[in-house]
């Protein structure tokens, strides 16, 4: 199974912990290494990583990791890393052919989530977002999380500021090549984010959801989340 990891952004909120967000260490291990090793536990064996900001440094580390752990890691470069994350996903269009798992370099998740979503039957031409229906989850930063209004079969709306929501976006997707067509359409509409593409797919009835069933996940994108990550890692939960 293939996995595309977005690791191109600057991660300015984490700057106090290091100058390259993917390489910031949690209990001695860089975040991106934890993401890759967790994904491998979930059944992933072929990785594609999109780099941008301080990309040379990140790619050098990934080459070392690939050799050390005998993992296939393919490099993709996004020179427009300052722009929204949809550009990083679209940069993989000519490098990866679906199906594939899409995730971010700072999302730590229970490997069972990946095992479950990849073992499920998926409709051709759809993209599935792993969602957390526990909207009272104390781990989640409500000021930053992407909210989802959805059913088990479709996404009605997704965004950071929507008020009517019943789930959270975990940052784990099961993609077909439909993601690239949706990104193109979203770009034309002025939205260069992954969220924009998911709204396009939702309007086309091509966006599906997968319940993570209360399993642990964490978006490590600011110092508070970083502190939580240290606790969960040292407790063996992530």
- For residue 213, the model assigns a pLDDT of 95
Task: Confirm whether 114 is domain-assigned.
Answer: yes
What is the share, in percent, of the chain residues with pLDDT greater than 70? 100
- For residue 194, the model assigns a pLDDT of 98
The number of domains in the chain is 1
Task: Confirm whether 15 is domain-assigned.
Answer: yes
Tell me the C-alpha distance between 192 and 67, whole Å: 34
Could you tell me the two tokens for 98? 């679906």
- For residue 76, the model assigns a pLDDT of 98
Task: Confirm whether 67 is domain-assigned.
Answer: yes
Task: Confirm whether 155 is domain-assigned.
Answer: no
- For residue 71, the model assigns a pLDDT of 97
Helix, strand and coil content of the chain, in percent to the nearest 5, comes to 35, 25, 40
The whole domain housing 54 covers: 2-125+171-206+218-234
CB hemisphere CA count around 206 (13 angstroms) = 18
7-25 confidence digits (pLDDT tens)? 999 877 777 777 899 999 9
Task: Confirm whether 158 is domain-assigned.
Answer: no
- For residue 153, the model assigns a pLDDT of 86
Task: Confirm whether 135 is domain-assigned.
Answer: no
Task: Confirm whether 49 is domain-assigned.
Answer: yes
165-195 confidence digits (pLDDT tens)? 999 999 999 999 999 999 999 999 999 999 9
Q: Where are the alpha helices (DSSP H) in 19-124?
A: 31-41, 55-69, 86-90, 111-119
36-61 confidence digits (pLDDT tens)? 999 999 999 999 999 999 999 999 99
Return the CATH number at 101: 3.90.550.10
């Amino acid at each position: 199974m293939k996995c595309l990891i977005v690791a191109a952004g600057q991660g300015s909120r984490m700057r106090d912990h290091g100058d390259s967000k993917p390489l910031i260490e949690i209990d001695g291990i860089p975040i991106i290494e934890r993401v890759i090793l967790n994904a491998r536990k979930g059944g992933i064996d072929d990785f594609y990583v999109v780099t941008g900001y301080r990309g040379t440094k990140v790619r050098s580390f990934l080459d070392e990791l690939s050799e050390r752990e005998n993992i296939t890691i393919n490099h993709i470069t996004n020179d427009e890393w300052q722009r929204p994350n949809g550009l990083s996903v679209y940069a993989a269009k000519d490098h990866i052919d679906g199906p594939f798992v899409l995730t971010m370099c700072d999302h730590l998740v229970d490997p069972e989530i990946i095992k479950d979503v990849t073992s499920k039957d998926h409709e051709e031409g759809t993209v599935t977002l792993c969602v957390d229906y526990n909207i009272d989850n104390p781990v989640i930063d409500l000021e930053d999380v992407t909210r989802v209004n959805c059913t088990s079969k479709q996404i009605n709306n997704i965004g950071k500021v929507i008020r009517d929501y019943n789930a959270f976006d975990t940052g784990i997707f099961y993609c077909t090549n439909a993601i690239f067509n949706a990104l193109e359409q979203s770009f034309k509409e002025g939205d260069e984010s992954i969220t924009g593409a998911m709204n396009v797919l939702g309007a086309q009835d091509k966006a599906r959801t997968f319940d993570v069933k209360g399993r642990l996940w964490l978006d490590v994108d600011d110092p508070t989340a970083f502190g939580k990550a240290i606790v969960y890692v040292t407790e063996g939960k992530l």
